[in-house]
Amino acid sequence: MKTINDLKLEGKRVLVRVDFNVPLNKSLEVTDDTRIRATIPTIKAIMEKGGHPVLMSHLGRPDGIRNPEFSLKSVVAKLEELSGKKVKFVEDCIGEEAVSASKQLGNDEILMLENLRFYNEETDGDEEFARRLSENGDVYINDAFGTAHRAHASTAIIARFFPKSTAAGLVMAAEIENVGKVLEQQAHPVTALVGGAKVSSKIDILQNLIPKLDNLIIGGGMAYTFIKAKGGSIGKSLVEDSYLETAREILKSAEKQGVNVYLPKDSVNSDEFANDGKRSISDAGAIDDNLMGLDVGPETLEEIKPVIEGSKTILWNGPMGVFEFENFSNGTKKAADYIAEATKNGAFSLVGGGDSVAAVKKFNMQDDVSYVSTGGGAMLEYLEGKELPGIKALN
């Protein structure tokens, strides 16, 4: 796949699909600028190569209606602050005004177009809309890994209007490279820690990963479905009864392929789903009828510590317990510590998928792992082995 470094950009209008879908407060100020910050190196690289960046993004779900609450005008001040460049804004993403603004961009200027999703044609993947968007650039770059799993006009369809001048931005290239390190060029032992709430949302990932793994550590709420499937008593713990058979099949498949599976040995329980619930520890398969497991216990941690610390490739998806509750966050925090230790000793560690990313941020450990994916749902589909339309279009 071509990246930005493979294209000549001197004097060209570089149309970049970014992911500026950022949270805003009531005064329409950006409250978390992670996604804007992540794109700055791509924007700077374009400008250093003499290109003029024209940025397009979605923001929220305006559902085809022009609504000032979802205007990308709200990101302009933040973008100017983070890039140190003048940012011009056009109140449309297609049409004469946008095209002419793109042609008039000065050397040190960035153009931000209005929200793509003010048109339903964006999410419909409409070809004519994609063609009109393409008029805003001479070159097309996709840097929005987070929406690469959607076949939208600006992420997948538009590339056909730039047959020779399409490439991945630096965020997109980094995501693909780092997930690739887990999926392909692995140093063994390879260990996956999979946790979070539901087995049902992780089946495809587990099935795709098992053939590549040496160790599979299962924690979080989903572990109790596995424990019940093996005949354990799990009290009021989270369970998906319709997935007991699936859980058994996953365990069987792992065993067949020589993967060491680690299910929690012990469980930190509570009498209610609350931080100040009454805590107790029991065998993970012998939880009292009126208790629920909210975290993995000390024996479990003792068992998985050397497994994680001895690994050379680590993928972490999903917390080991209800880490949002201070009193039940120990298992997730300790798992993060072991991953950090392995990373210090040369392992490659990737944290990907919603809540484990939130956990790493909460513990302020982003710099202690090799790579934290910003991809969310796109990252999960990539790990599931699916072909993402936004990546396919770049090839």
Q: What is the DSSP letter of 273?
A: S
Asked if 90 touches ligand AMP (CB under 6 A), the answer is no
Active site residue 377: yes
Q: Which of residues 341-360 bind ligand AMP (CB under 6 A)?
A: 354-355
CB within 8 Å of 177: residues ≥ 6 apart: none
Closer of 99 and 365 to ligand AMP (Cβ): 365
Q: To which H or E segment does residue 296 belong?
A: strand 292-296
> CB of 127: closest distance to ligand AMP in angstroms?
35
User: In this structure, are strands 260-262 and 215-218 parallel, antiparallel, or unpaired?
Assistant: parallel
Active site residue 2: no
> CB of 57: closest distance to ligand AMP in angstroms?
24
Asked if 235 touches ligand AMP (CB under 6 A), the answer is no
Do 352 and 376 form a contact (C-beta atoms < 8 A)? no
User: In this structure, are strands 52-56 and 166-168 parallel, antiparallel, or unpaired?
Assistant: unpaired
Asked if 125 touches ligand AMP (CB under 6 A), the answer is no
Active site residue 37: no
Alpha-carbon distance of 42 to 171, in angstroms, equals 7
> CB of 117: closest distance to ligand AMP in angstroms?
24
Alpha-carbon distance of 389 to 165, in angstroms, equals 18
Catalytic option among 60, 277, 310, 377 = 377
Which phi and psi (to 5°) does residue 392 adopt?
A: -55, -40
Alpha-carbon distance of 215 to 262, in angstroms, equals 8
Would you give the binding string for ligand AMP spanning residues 279-298, x where CB under 6 A is met? --------------xx----
Asked if 220 touches ligand AMP (CB under 6 A), the answer is yes
Which of 321, 352, 389, 390 lies at the binding interface for ligand AMP (CB under 6 A)?
Answer: 321
The crossing angle, in degrees rounded to 10, of helices 76-83 and 34-48 is 60
Asked if 208 touches ligand AMP (CB under 6 A), the answer is no
> CB of 59: closest distance to ligand AMP in angstroms?
23
Please give the structure tokens belonging to residue 52.
Answer: 């003029």
Active site residue 354: yes
Asked if 375 touches ligand AMP (CB under 6 A), the answer is no
Q: Is the peptide bond before 189 cis (omega within 30 degrees of 0)?
A: yes
Report, as residue numbers or ranges, the catalytic residues.
35, 198, 354, 377
Chain residues binding ligand AMP by CB under 6 A are 196-198, 201, 220-221, 238, 293-294, 318-319, 321-322, 324, 354-355
